[in-house]
Amino acid sequence: MDHSKLTKQILTAMFVGILLGAGVHSLSLAEDNFILVYLIDGLFDLGGDIFVKSLKLLVVPIVFVSLVCGASNLGDNASMGRIGLKTIGLYLMTTAIAITLAITAAVIIQPGVGINLSTDLEFVAKESPPFKEVLLNIFPSNPIAAMAEGKMLQIIVFAILVGIAISKSGEAGQRIRQHLDDWNDVIMNIVMMLMKVAPIGVFCLLVTLFAQMGFSAIQELIVYFMTVLMVLVLHFVLTYGGMIRVLANLSPVKFFRHMAPVLAYGFSTSSSNATLPMTLETVEHKIGVKNEIASFTVPLGATINMDGTAIMQGVATVFIAQAFNQDLSLADYITVILTATMASIGTAGVPGVGLIMLALVLQQVGLPVEGIALIIGVDRLLDMTRTAVNVTGDAAVSAIVAKSEGKFSNDVFEGRAASDTYSI
């Protein structure tokens, strides 16, 4: 199946799913209504869950195998270190830009001014881990446990170690690399199979979600909601579009077109992690980033790079400060930028985690954590949208790093070269 046909199918499925779900929600059906029991909470919920489970199923094998292959192909430690620094530097930079944009917009628009606070707000913030623990958590003591628990940074560290060791192991290393390359092809073909059913999966996820929540929650928080949305779009178009144009010298329109299905996966799953297999496939085989770069930058990005989340946190912090009539100083804003940027490193790419980390940011500047209760109602929809931005950021940085390292295929990007052995 050609890529643009699949993109159209996924986007149509998304659109129909949202419309149908919101339509069902607006009917306010009784809990035991046939449509709710058998279709929404039955068939569609099941279909959506199976789709997300199948995506998650691939995350650990794909990250490990792909990254071992990538790291072993890069060979020397020096280029590994250089690429690592470049990637992390770009991730931190885009996140800092994102949150600065968010704070600026929120200060200008003032979404929280005049909010009628209810006095009985209740929100129990989950404890966020101390920074030392976050750092310590990067290093695995047991690779199998890391894989079983899906600890992405630990898997990345272990895979890089194995990859480097393979490149130092002469013929034995060659044999293993050959073997893992074959595994990589096999796993990518599973991704392809999943892509074929993605329109159904996306439809099931969205119809269920919108039937449950509709759009009603947005009305009360429309200014906050629109501010976050606007900054997400701005960051997407200006920061990513600009970087792709200026730093990678590529057409942003083509880049976004290649990314369209990945955005749909991010939006419907609300999880950078669950989207990872699709992001990786697209970055390598549609955008043209060579495996040795993509296999490192994309999983790392799905784990540590969350620009969309940082945007929500920036707007939310200013919103909560305004709603509670508390002034933030310039030093506070700088603290917000630094904390949110750092917090995104220790945050996993799963649904709703951005709100937990928001508690950390609020605490740093002495704002009431209960303020989170104000925005929780619209967070699901924003979570979906910001996840789509998060995954685009990973792909953009990956393309820029690959270009700068000469590990990029313009032919694949322009659609002139077949993308290896995989076909959809």
306 binds ligand ASP (CB under 6 A): yes
Among 227, 239, 270, 291, binds ligand ASP (CB under 6 A): 270
Q: Which of positions 372-391 make contact with ligand ASP (CB under 6 A)?
A: 383, 386-387, 390
Rg (CA), the chain: 22
Q: Which of positions 57-116 make contact with ligand ASP (CB under 6 A)?
A: none
C-alpha separations of 95 from 2, 23, 86 in Å: 34, 36, 14
* CA atoms of 226 and 185, how far apart (whole Å): 42
Nearer to ligand ASP, 319 or 413 (CB): 319
* CA atoms of 200 and 342, how far apart (whole Å): 37
406 Rama sector, left if φ>0, alpha if ψ -120 to 50, beta otherwise? left
Which among 145-153, 225-233, 344-352, 358-366 is the span making contact with ligand ASP, rule CB under 6 A?
Answer: 344-352
**Who's near 42: CB < 8 A, 6+ residues apart?**
none
309 binds ligand ASP (CB under 6 A): yes
# residues contacting ligand ASP (CB under 6 A): 15
Among 350, 369, 376, 424, binds ligand ASP (CB under 6 A): 350
| Alpha helices, DSSP H, located in 270-371 | 272-282, 291-304, 307-323, 330-345, 353-364
Handedness of CA 243, 241, 99, 331 (dihedral sign): positive
Cβ–Cβ < 8 Å for 56, 267: no
Nearer to ligand ASP, 389 or 400 (CB): 389
Which among 122-130, 256-264, 269-277, 323-331 is the span making contact with ligand ASP, rule CB under 6 A?
Answer: 269-277
Map residue 415 onto helix, strand or coil.
coil
Nearer to ligand ASP, 167 or 282 (CB): 282
Map residue 248 onto helix, strand or coil.
coil
Nearer to ligand ASP, 111 or 349 (CB): 349
Both tokens of residue 37?
A: 């029991």
Nearer to ligand ASP, 59 or 401 (CB): 59
353 binds ligand ASP (CB under 6 A): yes
Among 239, 271, 282, 322, binds ligand ASP (CB under 6 A): 271
Type of residue found at 210:
F
* CA atoms of 129 and 332, how far apart (whole Å): 21
Cβ–Cβ < 8 Å for 286, 255: no
Nearer to ligand ASP, 7 or 385 (CB): 385
Nearer to ligand ASP, 155 or 353 (CB): 353
Nearer to ligand ASP, 307 or 370 (CB): 307
In whole angstroms, the minimum distance from the beta carbon of 33 to ligand ASP comes to 31
Which among 23-31, 151-159, 246-254, 266-274 is the span making contact with ligand ASP, rule CB under 6 A?
Answer: 266-274
Both tokens of residue 364?
A: 């740093």
349 binds ligand ASP (CB under 6 A): yes
In whole angstroms, the minimum distance from the beta carbon of 292 to ligand ASP comes to 24
* Residue 408, φ and ψ in degrees, nearest 5: -135, 140
Length reported for the chain: 424
Residues that bind ligand ASP (CB under 6 A): 270-272, 306, 309, 349-354, 383, 386-387, 390
